[in-house]
Every structure is written in C-alpha cells, then in structure tokens.
Amino acid sequence: MEEKKQVFEYNYSAKQQEEVRRIREKYVPKEESKLEQLKKLDAHATRSGTIASVTLGVISTLILGVGMCCTMIWADGWFIPGIIIGCIGMVGIFLAYPLYKKMVKQSREKLAPEILRLTDELLQQDE
C-alpha cells in the first residue's frame, strides 16, 4: 500500500502582516477625534501667517539682492537705483514678522469659538 505524505506548509511573516495592516489603514475610513480636530485647528491658525510671511521674506530678500547687485556690480548709473531697490527689499524683510503676527491674530480670533467649544467638550470628558 502506498503511503501518502501530508505536506504541511506554514508561512508567517510578522513584517508582511504589519505591511498589510498599514496598507489597510489607508483605506479604512477614520473618525476624527475631537483632540485631532483641535490640533488641526490650532495648526491652521498659524499656517496661513507662516506661508505669507515666509513668502514676503523670500521675495524681499531677492529684491535686496538685486539692489546689492545694482550697487556693486553694475555701478555705472545703477548705484542710486540699487540703493532704492535694496531699501525696498529691507522694508519687506522688516514687515514679514509683523505680517505673521497680524495674520495669526486674525486667524485665532476667527477660530476661537470652535477651539473653545472643542476644549470645553474635551475638558468635560476628563472630569
């Protein structure tokens, strides 16, 4: 009589299972917790001010650089315009931080009711 050999294969890989879980989590709809909403709102309050002030600062720095080039490299007839262009760039650089502060203040005032509502709900849950 012929004996049949049973073949038993067992493949398990912790790395593979973890990768499958990570991929699955991307497609499963998530409910956002109140704490996550609060964090997003807080980050949103500073994001627009940061973008605007960095943009102004970079553009103003480039304008200052053009003014410096005018005075140092193209000195023939460009010295006075170069100083004026450089001063415009410096004014823009100096205004970047006040612009940031103003935009963040406006954004926080706008988001304050929602943030206060969420913080009240979260603090009541802890009690």
Indicate whether 4 belongs to any domain.
Answer: no
Task: For residue 45, give its domain range.
Answer: 33-111
Kindly report, residue by residue over 98-124, the tens digit of the pLDDT.
Answer: 999 999 999 999 988 888 888 888 888
User: Bigger pLDDT: 98 or 29?
Assistant: 98
Indicate whether 26 belongs to any domain.
Answer: no
Q: Rounded mean pLDDT of 27-32?
A: 76
Q: Rounded mean pLDDT of 80-102?
A: 95
Indicate whether 55 belongs to any domain.
Answer: yes
Indicate whether 59 belongs to any domain.
Answer: yes
- pTM (global) more than 0.75: no
> Among 84, 82, 91, which residue's Cα sits nearest to residue 59?
91
- Mean pLDDT value across the chain: 86
User: How many folded domains does the chain comprise?
Assistant: 1
User: Bigger pLDDT: 25 or 88?
Assistant: 88
| Eight-class DSSP state of 1 | -
pLDDT at 66 over 90: yes
% of the chain at pLDDT higher than 70 = 89
Distance, CA of 108 to CA of 102 (rounded, Å)? 10
Indicate whether 6 belongs to any domain.
Answer: no
Indicate whether 15 belongs to any domain.
Answer: no
Indicate whether 57 belongs to any domain.
Answer: yes
Indicate whether 98 belongs to any domain.
Answer: yes
Residue 88's CB is within 10 A of a number of other CB atoms, namely 15
